[in-house]
Amino acid sequence: MSIKKQATAVPATSSWRALFVQFAAVVLAVFIAKGALAEPFYVPSGSMEPTLLIGDALLASKYPYGYGTASLPIQISLPETGRVFGETPKRGDVVVFRWPGDRSQAWVKRVVGLPGDRIQMRQGQLFINDRAASLKPDGIGEAEDDNGGSETASRYIETLPGGVSHEIYKMRDNGPLDNTPEVTVPPGRLFVMGDNRDNSADSRVPLREGGVGLLPTDNLIGRADAVVGSWDLGIRSRPVWTWLSGFRGSRFFTAVR
């Protein structure tokens, strides 16, 4: 005796509900990963040249400094409750943070001063606790501005107290940000600077003047660990068929130092 299996019809509403649940699960997983592990960011200015170029796509790791409202991939109004698993950045880290003047904006700078440090610029040289960060000439570069132009800049290797070395640009010998009063970094704050020392609105510039001021650690999003892609925006003024040549292949998947 043969037994015929009957096909059971699945109601359309149940099928759509299952698809919706699967889609929602994928979106939730992506949201959690983006919020807890890492998040991509785009570099729109030349304030971190030569370390970061205009058009770089960054990947910022969130776990090194813990989590707070600034870590969320979307900005919503929540009461400030501090950070969970919070860790202070190391001197020399390149960090992505919410700009205190408008938390919808994400900025990137290098940490040079930790709580308790005394920071001062003297004739273009960084001093931390009365100790000069050493500068070693490293040739000449081209600092790009936000409008696609460029300016010749002297490149140096700066070594911070503690041993972290990185490249910086200097376009002037005695610019407006090259001599500053000594500042003591208070608890819960950081002193951050751009590697393009003559073109960076950083902790040397008060918040009321469009700079960062002393950065609250609660504004940290994460540590900039890698450049995952890069495209030269200056090529936009050229014919469309040449745009593919704007991809900077040598910068793809490179570490940020």
Say yes or no to pLDDT of 106 above 90: yes
pLDDT at 79: 56
pLDDT > 90 in the chain, percent: 60
pLDDT at 74: 61
User: What tokens were used for 39?
Assistant: 């998040």
Query: What distance lies between CA 168 and its chain's CA centroid?
Result: 16
Domain ranges of the chain: 14-77+84-127+175-255
Q: Is 77 a catalytic residue?
A: no
Tell the CATH topology of 14-77+84-127+175-255: Umud Fragment, subunit A (2.10.109)
Residue-wise pLDDT tens digits, 163-211 = 999 999 999 888 889 999 999 999 999 999 999 999 999 999 999 999 9
Q: pLDDT at position 150, please?
A: 84
116-130, 158-172, 230-244: segment of lowest average pLDDT:
230-244
- Please provide the average confidence, as pLDDT, over all residues in the chain: 84
The residue from 109, 200, 203, 230 that is catalytic is 109
Looking at per-residue pLDDT, the higher value among 187 and 38 belongs to 187
Residues paired with residue 61 on neighbouring β-strands, in sequence order: 38, 223
Q: What percent of the chain has pLDDT over 70?
A: 80
Determine which of 6-15, 126-135, 158-167, 176-185 has the lowest per-residue pLDDT on average: 6-15
pLDDT band of 1, cuts 50, 70, 90: very low
pLDDT at 219: 93
Q: Determine the pLDDT at residue 43.
A: 93
Q: Is 197 left (phi over 0), alpha (psi -120 to 50) or beta?
A: alpha
Average pLDDT over residues 68-81: 64
Q: Is 34 one of the catalytic residues? A: no
Distance CA 179, CA 176 (A): 7
pTM above 0.85, yes or no: no
- Look at residue 108 and tell me whether its pLDDT is greater than 80: yes
pLDDT band at 85 (very low <50, low <70, confident <90, very high): low
Q: Taking 70 as the threshold, does the pLDDT of residue 33 lie above it?
A: no
